[in-house]
Amino acid sequence: MPELPETETIARDLHGLIAGSLVAGVEVIRADVLRGPLSGAFQEHQVSRSITGVLRRAKSVVLRLDDGKALVVTPRFTGSLQVDVEPDGYATIIWHLKDGRRLLYRDVRRLGTVTLFDAAGYQAFDRRLGVEPLTEGFTSEALSGILRGSETPIKKALMDQRRVAGIGNIYANEALWGAGIDPSREAGSLSSDECEDLVRVLRAVLEASIEARGTTFRDYRDAYNNRGGFAEQLQAYGRGGQPCPRCATRLTETHAIDGRSTVFCHRCQS
């Protein structure tokens, strides 16, 4: 599913494309993607409202409206937000903008969600999420505090959105390989130096992926309907059985930690 770099890319694109635009109409084609108490009057709450800005929170794209409401789109596995593409059979919601353009939420499997929050609802949503790894608040000391006493495997802890927001399977694999940390280690066992290394590597990986506009294997597309280019830079994820780029040992792939693919080097990450 789209993780931090992918949703950050979409949010930045959309902010440049539609911030300041007025919503002239909302067409709900597949209502099963809607969530929250405001879904019953979803269209009415947005018509004649301006989109004041677009940002990312965790793995979601947030469209701010001029009345204080927030539209939170979580693409999950096959969702995408695009401007002025031709609607197809996978279109779920279309926002018609006053300038004649369209914002389209497309979702092949309809596993993503679209939630309209009032100000209090968005604050509650935001409080449930952990620290953002690209902010100044994500320090080695902060990470050490988040992990302190935890017996959860470090890979699973990194993917817990209540602890660290936006990290999923791809970038947890990459960061732990880059920092030389066994993904199955208890999170609370990391030393302060290891936390410092992990913060540094995780930031570098995320920033490199944003620069490449995210990772596309199959479904992810940016707001312009283009693929991300970071897949060719991956060092661990998706490379099970191939040589470790650092020591040439065969990379191990397992599903034992959290039921999802974990790729690591048993020599470098010991």
Asked which of 51-55, 147-151, 219-223 is least confident by mean pLDDT, the reply is 219-223
Q: How far is it, in rounded angstroms, from Cα 68 to Cα 50?
A: 10
Kindly state the average pLDDT of the residues 18-34.
Answer: 97
Known catalytic residues are 2-3, 59, 260
In whole numbers, what is the pLDDT of the chain averaged over residues? 96
Let me know if the fold of 4-127 is the same as that of 140-264.
no
CATH fold group of domain 4-127: N-terminal domain of MutM-like DNA repair proteins (3.20.190)
Query: Given a cut of 90, is residue 32 above it in pLDDT?
Result: yes
Architecture of 140-264 per CATH?
Orthogonal Bundle (1.10)
Q: How confident is the model at residue 60 (pLDDT cuts 50, 70, 90)?
A: very high
Which amino acid is present at 36?
G
pLDDT at site 219: 85
How many other CB atoms are found less than 10 A from the CB of residue 109?
11
pLDDT tens-digit profile of 234-262? 999 999 999 999 999 999 999 999 899 99
Q: How confident is the model at residue 218 (pLDDT cuts 50, 70, 90)?
A: confident
Query: Given a cut of 80, is residue 105 above it in pLDDT?
Result: yes
Query: Given a cut of 90, is residue 270 above it in pLDDT?
Result: no
Kindly state the average pLDDT of the residues 90-111.
Answer: 96
How many other CB atoms are found less than 10 A from the CB of residue 86?
9
The percent of residues above 70 in pLDDT, for the chain, comes to 100
pLDDT at site 123: 98
Q: Which residues, 6 or more positions from 19, have their beta carbon under 8 angstroms from its beta carbon?
A: 51, 52, 53, 54
The percent of residues above 90 in pLDDT, for the chain, comes to 96
Domain residue extents for the chain:
4-127, 140-264
Q: How confident is the model at residue 124 (pLDDT cuts 50, 70, 90)?
A: very high
How many other CB atoms are found less than 10 A from the CB of residue 206?
21
pLDDT at site 133: 98
Kindly state the average pLDDT of the residues 86-115.
Answer: 95
Query: Given a cut of 80, is residue 201 above it in pLDDT?
Result: yes
pLDDT at site 70: 98
pLDDT tens-digit profile of 125-169? 999 999 999 999 999 999 999 999 999 999 999 999 999 999 999
pLDDT at site 258: 86
Query: Given a cut of 80, is residue 1 above it in pLDDT?
Result: no
Q: Looking at the chain, which runs of residues are DSSP E strands? A: 23-28, 34-35, 51-57, 60-65, 70-74, 79-83, 91-97, 102-107, 113-117, 252-254, 262-264
Q: How far is it, in rounded angstroms, from Cα 130 to Cα 122?
A: 14
